[in-house]
Chains A and B, each alone.
Chain A
């Protein structure tokens, strides 16, 4: 799992059926609450409708990203699974 900040919204009308109703965000991995960029930005799905622009989130990558969907079956490489409130 990675810490990331939501830096943009990706609009796509034509999507794979499994992704219907799911929003896509551009996220930038960050190193901590100071929001220092840590790697290249990528696209993450938001199956639980958690995030909005500017939020800090936790992103699951790789095959496990599909597990964030109710069906457990979706062609995604990254999913937003939690909002990050604070780090100690």
Chain B
């Protein structure tokens, strides 16, 4: 799983029918401290996240492992909204 910040919503009318009713979010990857990284991801929203939320993304085939996204052609899902990250061992964490 990776950390990301939701920066926008994607609107599309013509899409695969298995994506109907699913909100697509544009997310920018961040590191564990909240520092933005260069990568952007488009992810399906499974937890009612909104713009500005700090979220966890699951990617690859694991993204299909929710009841909500079981049959959808996707490779990234927002599966948690992060309240807080409590870092207990600062010195041994490698900076990304």
Contacts and interface: CB of A to CB of B under 8 A. Distances in A.
B7 interface: no
Nearest to A73: B65
Contacts of A28: 89, 92-94
7 contacts: A13-B83, A16-B46, A41-B93, A75-B77, A77-B1, A77-B58, A77-B59
Interface of B: 1-3, 32, 46-49, 56, 58-69, 77, 79-90, 92-94, 96
In which size bucket is the chain A interface?
35 or more
Nearest to B63: A75
Contacts of A42: 1-2
Contacts of B62: 62-63, 65-66, 74-77
Interface in A5-40: 5-19, 24, 26, 28, 30, 35, 37, 39-40
A28 to B, nearest CB: 5
Contacts, number: 129
A35 to B, nearest CB: 6
A16 B89 contact: no
Contacts of A9: 85-86, 88
State the 8 A-B residue pairs at the shortest beta-carbon distance, nearest first.
A12-B80, A8-B87, A14-B81, A37-B94, A53-B88, A43-B1, A7-B89, A16-B79
